[in-house]
Structure 1
Amino acid sequence: MNEKKQSAVKRILGTRGMGAVITAFAGLIIIYVAFGLIDRKVFAGQNVMNLLRSMSKYLLIGVGQSYLLITGNIDLSIGSMVGMSAMISATLMAMGVNPFVAIAVAMICCLVTGVVNGMLVGKFKLPPFIATLGTMFVTRGVAYMVNNNRNTDAIATGIGKEAGDKFQNFFYYGKTLGVYNTFWIALVIFLIFFFLLSKTRTGRHIYAIGSNVDAAKLSGVNVVNTTIKAYLVSAVCACVVGYILCAQAGMGNMEAGNMYEMYGVAAGVIGGISPLGGTGLLLGTFAGAAVWQTLENGLNMIGAQVGIQRLVIGIIVVFSVLLDVVVRSGNFGKKATK
């Protein structure tokens, strides 16, 4: 029995990319304890709950971006899709449209964007940076145009205070088992996409494309369909974050989701997702999102300026990518053996 447990542990620890995940979680613990020693309020229960709720947005965006990074692609439109989702759902609700209908319409618009991104990159071979840069401007334009270039009124003015409160409580302010619903929503979505990536054929195809797209084709992988699926994951995650931001503000903001595409990359890369494609575990994205939010939370609590926050996180992201490049090139191992 003990031998079986030991072999299982060895197998898990030997999983490709697990080292980066363990490093990210170790870094998370060190950062959290360090800030807690500076300011004991970091350890307060309410602060922990707020931290979990805030990191949920980064986790969802990180999951969407990680899927694409593993395929060797990227989605620059993911942040603008967040804004589009928030504005479409908020505008419709402010007009009195049933929240379920508003949510569905926003999701359809994001899914269409995901399909377009997947087709442009997978079928028409456009560089993902250029393809999603274009859809980034398009979706942000829709976010501006949907309510005539202005933020929406409060959603409660259209659907009523009771329905508005239900929407806001479900996506942001409400709690289940003492934890904000935002975190539970993000966790459920994370687990679904974690299973899809690690336990299904689609997940294996996503890794295969990122490792070597030509070899994947020769192995029978439908590159176009798999690429579209990856961009659809990104679209779903972006849309849900749009709901969260809409619920948080109780209205739609045209700038919602601004810079979130970079937050997603940061969460993935910090957690060991390789921007070069083919490697990384979604569990690392969870750690990366937690590291990002813990840093932001801790620096805020000790009174650090926003510029310093961005500087610290930027250095960590660059270091994470540099480490991935060094490990992939084999230079790390060569130096270690000298």
Structure 2
Amino acid sequence: MNEKKQSTVKRLLGTRGMGAVITAFVGLIIIYVAFGLIDRNVFSGQNVMNLLRSMSKYLLIGVGQSYLLITGNIDLSIGSMVGMSAMVSATLMTMGVHPVIAMAVALLCCLVCGVINGTLVGKFKLPPFIATLGTMFAARGVAYMVNNNRNTDAIATGIGKEAGDSFQNLFYYGKTFGIYNTFWIALILFLIFFFLLSRTRTGRHIYAIGSNVEAAKLSGVDVVTTTIKAYLVSATCACVVGLILCAQAGMGNMEAGNMYEMYGVAAGVIGGISPLGGTGLLLGTFAGASVWQTLENGLNMIGAQVGIQRLVIGIIVVFAVLLDVVVRSGSLGKKNKQ
């Protein structure tokens, strides 16, 4: 029995990318403890709850971006889709549309963007940077136009205070088992997408495309369909984050989700998702999002300026990517042999 457990642990630790995941989690613990020693309020229960809630947005956006990074692609439009989701849903609710219908329309808009992105990249072979740059501007344009170039009124003005409070409690202010619903929503979606990536044929195809797209084609992988699926995951995550931001503010903001595409990349690469494609575990994205939010939370609590926060996180992201490049090139192994 013990031998079986040992072999399972050994196999788990030997999983490609697990080293980066463990490193990220160790780094998370060190960062959290370090900030806690500076300011004991970091260890408070309420701060932990707030940290989990805030981290959830980075986790979701990181999951969407990680799917694409593994395929060797990227989604620059994911932040704009967040803004479009927030504005479309909020605008409809201020017009008296039921929240469920408003959310469905917002999701449909994001999924359309996902299909367009996947088709442009997968079928027409446009560079993902260019294709998603175009949809980034288009989605942000929709966010501006949907309410005539202005932020919306409070959603309660259209659907009433009771329905407005229910929507806000569901996505942001409410708690279940003492933990904010925002975290539960993010965790459920994370587990679903984790299963899809690690236990299904689609997940294997996503890794295959990122490793070698030509070899994947020869192996019978439908590159176009798989690429579209990856972009649909990104679009779904963006929509949910938009709903979270809408619930947080109680209204739609045209600039919601600004720069979130970069936050998603950061969450992924900090957790070991390779921007070169083909490697990385979604568990690492969880760790990366946690590191990002813990850094932001800790730096805020000790009174660090926003510029310093961005500088520190930027250095960590560059270091994570540099480490991935060095490991892939085998430079560390060559030095050890010498």
User: TM-score, with normalisation over the residues of structure 2?
Assistant: 1.00
Q: Secondary structure at the match of 1:261?
A: helix
Q: Aligned equivalents of 1:215 and 1:175: distance in 2?
A: 47
What amino acid does structure 2 have at the position aligned with 1:290? S
Q: Could you say which residue in structure 1 is the equivalent of 2:219? A: 219
What amino acid does structure 2 have at the position aligned with 1:276? L
- Find runs of 4+ consecutive structure 1 residues off by over 4 angstroms: none
Q: Secondary structure at the match of 1:153?
A: coil
Q: Aligned equivalents of 2:337 and 2:26: distance in 1?
A: 25
Q: Aligned pair 1:230/2:253, yes or no?
A: no
Q: Secondary structure at the match of 1:298?
A: helix
Q: Aligned equivalents of 1:167 and 1:216: distance in 2?
A: 43
Q: Aligned equivalents of 2:309 and 2:250: distance in 1?
A: 27
Q: Could you say which residue in structure 2 is the equivalent of 1:324? A: 324
Percent of matched pairs sharing the same residue: 89
Deviation (angstroms), 1:205: 0.1
Q: Could you say which residue in structure 2 is the equivalent of 1:160? A: 160
Q: Aligned pair 1:208/2:196, yes or no?
A: no
Q: Could you say which residue in structure 1 is the equivalent of 2:80? A: 80
1:186-233 Cα shifts (integer Å, max 9, x gaps): 000000000000000000000000000000000000000000000000
Q: Could you say which residue in structure 2 is the equivalent of 1:17? A: 17
Deviation (angstroms), 1:290: 0.1
Q: Aligned equivalents of 1:108 and 1:258: distance in 2?
A: 20
What amino acid does structure 2 have at the position aligned with 1:111? L
1:85-134 Cα shifts (integer Å, max 9, x gaps): 00000000011000000000000000000000000000000000000000
Deviation (angstroms), 1:296: 0.1
What amino acid does structure 2 have at the position aligned with 1:21? V
Q: Could you say which residue in structure 2 is the equivalent of 1:123? A: 123
Q: Could you say which residue in structure 2 is the equivalent of 1:292? A: 292
Q: How does 1:273-292 map to 2 (within 5 A)?
A: 273-292=273-292
Q: Aligned equivalents of 1:209 and 1:101: distance in 2?
A: 36
Q: Secondary structure at the match of 1:210?
A: helix
Q: How does 1:138-217 map to 2 (within 5 A)?
A: 138-217=138-217
Q: Aligned pair 1:39/2:39, yes or no?
A: yes
Q: Aligned pair 1:241/2:260, yes or no?
A: no
Q: Secondary structure at the match of 1:257?
A: coil
Q: Aligned equivalents of 1:116 and 1:35: distance in 2?
A: 43
Q: How does 1:65-76 map to 2 (within 5 A)?
A: 65-76=65-76
Q: Aligned equivalents of 2:248 and 2:73: distance in 1?
A: 31
Q: How does 1:256-271 map to 2 (within 5 A)?
A: 256-271=256-271
Q: Aligned equivalents of 2:14 and 2:334: distance in 1?
A: 20
Q: Aligned pair 1:100/2:100, yes or no?
A: yes
Structure 1: stretches of 5+ with no match in the other structure: none
How many matched pairs?
Answer: 338
What amino acid does structure 2 have at the position aligned with 1:76? L
Q: Could you say which residue in structure 2 is the equivalent of 1:27? A: 27
Q: Aligned equivalents of 1:163 and 1:177: distance in 2?
A: 22
Q: Aligned equivalents of 2:280 and 2:269: distance in 1?
A: 9
Q: Aligned equivalents of 1:90 and 1:21: distance in 2?
A: 37
Q: Could you say which residue in structure 2 is the equivalent of 1:306? A: 306
Q: Aligned equivalents of 2:38 and 2:94: distance in 1?
A: 44
1:254-304 Cα shifts (integer Å, max 9, x gaps): 000000000000000000000000000000000000000000000000000
Q: Aligned equivalents of 1:67 and 1:278: distance in 2?
A: 10
Structure 2: stretches of 5+ with no match in the other structure: none
CA RMSD of the aligned region, Å? 0.3
Q: Aligned equivalents of 2:74 and 2:182: distance in 1?
A: 25
Q: Aligned equivalents of 2:106 and 2:303: distance in 1?
A: 37
What amino acid does structure 2 have at the position aligned with 1:273? I
What amino acid does structure 2 have at the position aligned with 1:240? V
What amino acid does structure 1 have at the position aligned with 2:261? E
Q: Aligned equivalents of 1:335 and 1:226: distance in 2?
A: 38
Q: Aligned equivalents of 2:61 and 2:99: distance in 1?
A: 23
Q: Secondary structure at the match of 2:167?
A: helix
Deviation (angstroms), 1:336: 1.7
What amino acid does structure 1 have at the position aligned with 2:25? F
Q: Aligned equivalents of 1:111 and 1:85: distance in 2?
A: 10
